Structure 1
């Protein structure tokens, strides 16, 4: 919950909720579509696979930038800016790693998942006020991203690293974003009914 929302009242809260709903829904759908496409294109680290690997963190970077533009100055905005920069760097790093091995890609993706998951938890904690819901889907998704990122780095150091897990990761993240959008829509409807 930001100070801006508290001080400017319901119209701003409604606008912020509506904007987040659209952003979360779009982000979630894109993640699920990406997972479906990547599931059929990751057997080799060729051009299409590397392109998809670069696109996924870029989706997160663009989403974070859109979110950043709508936020007032404060710690939430700074964390969102950090996540946008981090995801942009991750896109570059995973693109370079794509010319190496599955293990290299998995370790880069895992490091990004750890850091972006931590950032997502921080943003979710800031948005836990009643106007924007309790943010449980975002908090769970961020926490899982952190844990899964650690697992990816362990797997990358093993004997048979595989990129299969990335489709599962993206699908899970997409489902949590859609769930958060649904929660915001339910909250908006509940508030409209209460004020009608």
Structure 2
């Protein structure tokens, strides 16, 4: 029994580190978006491609670290969707900037629903996943806002997407803290 408890604490520790990394990268992306992206269309374009590309990479690593792609279908799907969106955004930047918001909207809905599924599944194993579940639900709702915003873009896409990314950073940070506290408490009672 001690090995199972120790193993689940180790897995939870890896998940805490993953959530912290996601929070830091998202926060850095938001800072770059506001510092250089809003004033420089080329930088904004690069950042808008990098955001879903990073998400694809992070989901692929998460799936591999937790039993592989076959054992983690939501992460595998999220990887594929995020990679496709990164490529789509790259193309959309040349075609029509409003299309970028539509792609981000569709991505936010799909990625949010997949994150919701991952959060619910991990809740059973680790607990302390309510922030991930809430983040997934909010992401799905934000997707609708992005699509609606594309009809009449009042501001550049980067300025619309950056607050969304900021909420993502916040939710990953909260999830890391909650999971660390929960794991520590479980370790103290074991």
Per the TM superposition, whether the score is higher than 0.5 is yes
Per-residue Cα deviation, 1:129-168 (whole angstroms, up to 9, x for no partner)? 2x51231110111111000001110111125354212110
Matched, 1:151 2:145: yes
Give distance in 1, aligned partners of 2:181 and 2:71.
24
TM-score, normalized by length of structure 1?
0.88
Matched, 1:119 2:98: no
Please, which runs of 5 or more residues in structure 2 have no aligned partner?
Answer: none
> TM-score of the superposition, structure 2-length normalised?
0.90
Confirm whether residue 138 of structure 1 aligns to residue 138 of structure 2: no
In structure 2, what is the Cα distance between the partners aligned to 1:91 and 1:79?
A: 18
Matched-pair contact (CA < 8 Å) for 2:98–2:153: no
Rounded to whole Å, the distance in 2 between the matches of 1:178 and 1:190 is 18
The answer on 1:27 being equivalent to 2:22 is yes
Structure 1 runs, 4 residues or longer, greater than 4 Å off:
73-76
Whether the 8 Å contact between 2:128 and 2:179 is mirrored in structure 1 is: no
Contact 2:75 2:118 in 1 (8 A): yes
The Cα shift of 1:89 comes to 0.8
Indicate if the aligned counterparts of 1:121 and 1:138 stay in contact, CA closer than 8 A.
yes
Q: Assess if the C-alpha contact under 8 Å between 1:45 and 1:99 holds in 2.
A: no
Q: Distance in 2 between matches of 1:73 and 1:35?
A: 30
1:88 aligned residue (75, 79, 83):
83
Cα distance between partner residues in 2 of 1:94 and 1:45: 17
Partner of 2:189: 194
Once superposed, what is the RMSD of the aligned Cα atoms?
Answer: 2.1
Is structure 2 residue 100 aligned with structure 1 residue 105?
yes
Aligned residue-pair number:
188
> Does structure 2 conserve the Cα–Cα contact (< 8 Å) formed by 1:28 and 1:178?
yes
CA offset at residue 75 of structure 1? 7.5
Alignment check: 8 A CA contact 1:50 1:98 kept: yes
